Structure 1
Amino acid sequence: MGIIGAPAIVDKRIYRGSTVGIHEAGARGAGLSVALLFGWATSLMLYPWAAAAQEPGSTGDPSDRSALPLDITPEGVAELLRSGAPFQLVDVDRQREPVALPAEARIIYYSSTPASGHARAAALRNRSERASQSSQRLMGTPVEWNRLKLPLAEPFDLNEPIALSPQILAQALRDGTDLLIVDVRGNAKGPDAVQPFADALALLPNQVATHSATFPKHAWVVVVDDGGIIAPQIARSLNGDGLSLVAYLQGGYVAWQTSADRDIPPGPHRPQP
C-alpha cells in the first residue's frame, strides 16, 4: 500500500525592497521605512507562488492542481517522499482505487506490467472525475522504483518473471514500451515463418542461454512460445542469468491468436505522446 505523508513545510523567504535616494535628511528614514514595508508586503504576496514553484512537477500556480505534468519521474516521487508531501501510489493492475484522500493529496498511478498506458488512462480519468485531486503517472521501471525505495502498493520481485495476458502485451506494444520479445516457437525461424511481433528475436529454446548475455539489462524481456508451456521455464532461467525485468506470454502464441484485443500498429513501435 502506498503512503500518505504529512504536508511539506517550506521556509519563508522575505524579499527586501530597495530604497531610492532621498535628498532631505529628515525624509531619508521615513523613505527607508516605507520601502522596507513595501518589500515585506510584496514578499507575503509572492510567497505562496514561490513555495509552489519549489514543489516537484508544479507549474507554480497552487490553485491549478491539474497543471501538474501528467508524468512524474521516480526521482520526482522520491523528492515528494523526502518533503513529506501527501500522495499515494496506486498499482492499476493489482490495487483498488483509493476511496478517500485529502483534497491536496496526489494519486500517482503505475503499472506492475510493461503496459504503462493503463496507468496513463487511470491518471487522465482521475483528473476528469476528481477535479479537486491531482493525479499523475509514474514513469520508469520497477528496477528504478526498487532502487529508490519507493513505497509501492506491493513489493515487486525482480527475481520472479510475471505472466502477461495477450491484452497486456498488446497494450505494452501500443505504448511503445522498451522491450525485447524472445520468440521461442519451433516454427518462428525460417523463410516461411510468421512473425507477428516487430523486431522479435527468434531463437530455439536451447539457444536462449547462449544469447542471454546480449539481452538488455534495464528493459523488459518477454518470452513467447507456442502454448505457454516452456516460456515460464525459460523466463525463470533468464532471471537466474541476472535479468530483472522478465515476463512471458500467458498461453503462448495460441492465446495471442484467439485474443479479441491484440491490435497493435505495424512496427517499429513508438510511444504515445
Structure 2
Amino acid sequence: MAGTDLRNRDGLTEQEFLAKYSPGDYKRPSVTVDTLILGMNEDYSGMKILLIKRGDHPFMGCWALPGGFVSENETAHQAAARELQEETGLSGIYLDQVYTFSKPDRDPRTWVISIAYLALIPDLREVEGADDAADAAWFDLRFTDEKIEISNEEKGVQISYDLRRETFRNGAMRYENYIPTLTGEDALAFDHVEILIEAFKKLRKEILYNDQAFCMVEENFTLPELQAVYEAVLGHELYKKSFRDMVKGKVSETGRMKQSKTKNGRKCKEYRMSECEEELR
C-alpha cells in the first residue's frame, strides 16, 4: 500500500507511527444522532411529528427528537436506525442524513456533535417510550414562514416558536434561514428546534424532484392523498392539473377504486408508484 514504507520527519513508518499514536492527546467530542420523524394525520389535512419525553437529565421531562449516542463499531446511519427501534419501535422506514450540528455548548453534559436525520413514514404507527424515553407520542405539526406550532391535546403540550428570516453569506452565495424564538413555556430539548428547521427546509427543497412524498403515503394511494402530502410539505395549495402533470410519469393505476382518506374524500382511482420509480427509490 502506498505510503506504508515511507518515513515521516521523526523517521517513523506508518506502522511505527500508529503503534505510538495516543488518541488521548487530543480532546474528542461525543457523537450522537437525532431524527425528525414525519407522517401525515389520518385525513391528510396536516403533518405529525414523533417526539419522545426524556426520562433522564439533562432536559428531563422535556419533549425531544428520538436519538442517542453512536456506538464505536457502527455508522451514524446504523445508530439512527437503532435508536429509532429502541426508543419508538419503528424500523424499515425512509431515513436520510440532514446536517451536522456542532455548536460547542449545544449539550450541557459535554462536547457533543449531533448528526441529524430525517425519517418519513406512510402511516402513524403506535409508539411507546422505551429504553431511556419516558414516553413517546405523535404531535400535530404546523410549519409556516412565520411560526412553528407543535401540539398534543391529550398530553396537554403546546410548543410554539416565532420564526424570523435572516440572510447569510457563504462566499458569493446568499441563503436564508429561520431564527426561532420560543413563545411559550414548553420547549423542545437541546437545539432540536434547529434540527427541525433544517430537516424541514431540506424536505421542502427536495420533495419536488426526489419523490419523498411517496414515502408518506401507503403503497396503494389516491392522487388526492398524494397531492395533500406535497401541499402539507410545501405549505401551499397546488393546482390539480399542474399536480397531475407533475406526477404523471411517476404513478401507475392499479385498476381498482379506493376510498380516499382525505377530508370529505370519495372513491377515486387507486394508484401506486411506477415500477421504474420504485426501483430508483
- Same fold, TM exceeding 0.5? no
Question: Which has the larger share of strand?
Answer: 2
- Which one has a bigger Cα radius of gyration? 1
Question: Which has the larger share of helix?
Answer: 1
TM-score in terms of structure 1 length: 0.28
